[in-house]
Structure 1
Amino acid sequence: MKKISIQDMPKHVGETVKIGAWLANKRSSGKIAFLQLRDGSGFVQGVVVKANVSEETFAAAKSISQESSLYVIGEVTEDTRSSFGYELQIQEIQVVSEAHDYPITPKEHGVEFLMDHRHIWLRSKKQHAIMVVRNEIIRATYEFFNGEGFKKVDPPILTGSAPEGTSELFHTKYFDQDAFLSQSGQLYLEAAAMALGKVFSFGPTFRAEKSKTRRHLIEFWMIEGEMAFYEHDESLEVQEQYVAYIVQSVLKNCKLELELLGRDTTKLENIQAPFPRISYDEAIELLHEKGFDDIQWGEDFGAPHETAIAEHYDKPVFITCYPVGIKPFYMQPHPERNDVVLCADLIAPEGYGEIIGGSERIYDYELMKQRIAEHGLDEEAYAWYLDLSKYGAVPHSGFGLGLERTVAWITGVEHVRETIPFPRLLNRIYP
């Protein structure tokens, strides 16, 4: 007898198989028991008919408790009533481990309770669906970058300097030196791009920002790309192609999950390159037209501003050329203006905010030294980074995409805390 996973059931219609699973829920109507089973790869209904099984098997079906683990043996049949399309006609149940008093029952629970039990909340259908979509985005990310000729590089997590200043970094001691948890692998990727041409990374980043909004995490994962001999507009083309690629991959490969989450997929089907682009100047004008008189030129946008701008479009929108004063030291100045830089933030639709930040990088040695000094950074700590502008400098550009915000947008989940297995929030480091 073949042992299979739930996701492989469509390949075994009419066969008797064995599946290791947990009992997510159950109901019975006298002589029939319906077991909702999950095994990590998916969910399926198992049907136990009293007349077709032993007394022991039917007794087990009636008595087994939520989240007990078991092996079930039965025939795979088609079931057009379910979104999965298949069910299991159970012939035998082998209990592996009985669970008692499972904390998360089929009723409403408060957010804090669920967060305290995140280690088991992950087992629920909605959380499972979000994690499957997250995994698909990661899979498609590797597929996209590999297909475009990028090499994966792994920047360090412990760093001796800060890519964007030191105000939001976690400080630690590195033996007898100061060190920080990385807020971005960008500077190291720039060095790698000078060796490998086009590179990308995927890893954890940390921000010691005391924010409690639905868009913020203390620890999150970022996909970053860096490209030698790429100017600003060329980088924007890569970014929009990448975002369109992962959205279409999710639509293709996560139909069941999006349906379970109640996601309006018509909004996602429209996500195709190219994306609209407006300048920071135009964004300020648009906000004033919409009644946001509080925002003035030179100020950064908050969540309400980004949402208002995004509502003007049915795709993600690039806001380009922000003022020098609100952007990091390494961004290339605009060729015709000294008050803005060649950068862009990509704002997702439906109020999910910025999902990508990117720019063309400075490659003039003297200008880079000047900017490091203007930002009050220690030139000695950045000596290795300055070498990139000294030895064979070239125009180059890059960007970083926040995975959790992107998952939230694509799934339609309200808060980023549900888009990462174990979220780290301002007041939460458990479990």
Structure 2
Amino acid sequence: MKTTISQVGKYTDQEVTIGAWIANKRSSGKIAFLQLRDGTGFIQGVVVKAEVSEEVFATAKSITQESSLFVTGVVRSDERAPSGYELTVTGIEVIHEAVDYPITPKEHGTEFLMDNRHLWLRSKRQHAVMKVRNELIRATYEFFNENGFVKVDPPILTGSSAEGTTNLFHTKYFDEDAYLSQSGQLYMEAAAMALGKVFSFGPTFRAEKSKTRRHLIEFWMIEPEMAFVDHEENLQVQEQYVSFMVQSVLKNCQLELKVLGRDTAKLEQVVGPFPRITYDDAIKFLQENGHEIEWGEDFGAPHETAIAQSFDKPVFITHYPAAIKAFYMKPDPNRADVVLCADMIAPEGYGEIIGGSQRIDDMELLQERFQEHNLSEETYKWYLDLRRYGSVPHSGFGLGLERTVAWVCGLDHVRETIPFPRLLNRLYP
């Protein structure tokens, strides 16, 4: 019976064949232990000299790391094994023998591993990170599909910017200027006016010359937008979504979290409602705790971390000054100098994972914002049309997938959260 490592539990005490690679091995005179991986998981194959042919045992002793093979054996239940099973090997068919595989079980430097990212992905730790990433994506689709959202795909090439063109990648679109999208939000607002509740999931690009552990040049964003939804309702959706994602990982990725050494007790606390603090109170808190920051300044990583350390769940910072936020955010009706917005800050020093707001729905106010931000009304004519024809209160947010993966996995740097990271100094492989 041909199967995969993830499915061996269905065949306890039966003989199966698995296509796999040798992740590692060790052997003594009479027994060889093969660490096998097939993409779905890892399992140990035990080859006993007295129970197999001389040829099979000789192959088990000589086979090299990352060689590919078909392994036949009997599935045994084993409580000591991470997966709960191991394989008593009866036969080996070598498909391809790898020579001098560069990533060995010894320690390697980060730059070396990044140069070999196409191979580093095969390691048990990177495998676990990608499985958690996949579960966050799967849970995202489940959450929005079950809550009546429609998936809409905004363009990646745009003629304008959601938040100004300062940090955008410029390209020529035949005889016009174009930019790689930094957000699909404006287009999602148009989609919400047609479909009510929508979400997008796609790549976004920021040409920021930043080298921090939280920044990538190319990253993936989940951007929901909702018609007839105000600021408060928007926060509730964010709480429900993030709680759902984290609980899904806890339910479906226990083995991966164990491989990563993640303290799951901290993740178990991620259930809404989440605490909230206004920008005003956040500034006051920071000043009282020795941070040099004035009202009107944006928060940096040390500020976000200091605030988050006061809570064991993600925390919302709400009502930022209008002057430091995007042109489309709706002012607080009771106070024009702040906007109806919130950033969700992850605990444990992982920073902002969500930015969201209620959007301006008044056409005249939006036109004023265009003038203040030196934006061309001609370029954004289509965006104004959303306020001209049946404008309604509407809200939305954007979640950065890679920062969320880093937080849930407990990683030190976002470069491990995406298969092939694009960094300030890296476009290879």
Do both proteins adopt the same fold according to a TM-score greater than 0.5, normalized to the shorter chain? yes
**2:42 aligns to what?**
43
The Cα of 1:375 is off from its aligned counterpart by 0.4
3-state SS of 2:87 partner: strand
Moved over 3 A (4+): none
The Cα of 1:50 is off from its aligned counterpart by 0.6
The Cα of 1:379 is off from its aligned counterpart by 1.0
Residues in 2 aligned to 1:408 and 1:363: alpha-carbon distance in whole angstroms: 35
The Cα of 1:30 is off from its aligned counterpart by 1.1
Deviations 1:125-151 (A, max 9, x none): 000000000000000000000010000
**2:420 aligns to what?**
422
Residues in 2 aligned to 1:42 and 1:83: alpha-carbon distance in whole angstroms: 10
3-state SS of 1:115 partner: helix
Identity of aligned residues (%): 74
The Cα of 1:226 is off from its aligned counterpart by 0.2
Structure 2, gaps ≥5 residues long: none
Residues in 1 aligned to 2:214 and 2:85: alpha-carbon distance in whole angstroms: 37
3-state SS of 1:193 partner: helix
Residues in 2 aligned to 1:355 and 1:166: alpha-carbon distance in whole angstroms: 22
The Cα of 1:284 is off from its aligned counterpart by 0.4
3-state SS of 1:137 partner: helix
Give, as a single letter, the amino acid of the residue that structure 1 aligns with 2:398.
G
3-state SS of 2:91 partner: strand
Deviations 1:247-291 (A, max 9, x none): 000000000000010000000000000000110001001111211
3-state SS of 1:21 partner: strand
The Cα of 1:373 is off from its aligned counterpart by 1.3
Q: What TM-score results when the alignment is normalised by the length of structure 2?
A: 1.00
Residues in 1 aligned to 2:82 and 2:37: alpha-carbon distance in whole angstroms: 15
Deviations 1:380-414 (A, max 9, x none): 11000000000000000000000000000000000
- Match for residue 379 of structure 2 among 364, 372, 381: 381
**1:70 aligns to what?**
69
Residues in 1 aligned to 2:78 and 2:367: alpha-carbon distance in whole angstroms: 67
**2:271 aligns to what?**
272
**1:180 aligns to what?**
179
**1:245 aligns to what?**
244
Give, as a single letter, the amino acid of the residue that structure 1 aligns with 2:40.
S
Structure 1 residue 395 corresponds to structure 2 residue 387: no
- Match for residue 364 of structure 1 among 347, 362, 365: 362
3-state SS of 1:297 partner: coil
Matched ranges for 1:191-206 at <5 A: 191-206=190-205
Residues in 2 aligned to 1:5 and 1:260: alpha-carbon distance in whole angstroms: 20
**2:314 aligns to what?**
316
3-state SS of 2:95 partner: strand
The Cα of 1:14 is off from its aligned counterpart by 1.1
- Match for residue 335 of structure 1 among 333, 338, 345: 333
The root-mean-square deviation of aligned C-alpha atoms, in Å, is 0.4
Give, as a single letter, the amino acid of the residue that structure 2 aligns with 1:362.
I
3-state SS of 2:331 partner: coil
Residues in 2 aligned to 1:74 and 1:219: alpha-carbon distance in whole angstroms: 43
Residues in 2 aligned to 1:13 and 1:399: alpha-carbon distance in whole angstroms: 47
Residues in 2 aligned to 1:83 and 1:261: alpha-carbon distance in whole angstroms: 13
Structure 1, gaps ≥5 residues long: none
**2:55 aligns to what?**
56
Deviations 1:5-45 (A, max 9, x none): 10001111011111000000000121100000000000000
Deviations 1:159-180 (A, max 9, x none): 0000000111000000000000
The Cα of 1:82 is off from its aligned counterpart by 1.4
Matched ranges for 1:17-416 at <5 A: 17-292=16-291, 294-416=292-414
Give, as a single letter, the amino acid of the residue that structure 1 aligns with 2:377.
E
The Cα of 1:350 is off from its aligned counterpart by 0.3
Residues in 2 aligned to 1:378 and 1:11: alpha-carbon distance in whole angstroms: 62
The Cα of 1:330 is off from its aligned counterpart by 0.2
Residues in 2 aligned to 1:370 and 1:156: alpha-carbon distance in whole angstroms: 26
Deviates more, 1:74-83 or 1:301-310: 74-83
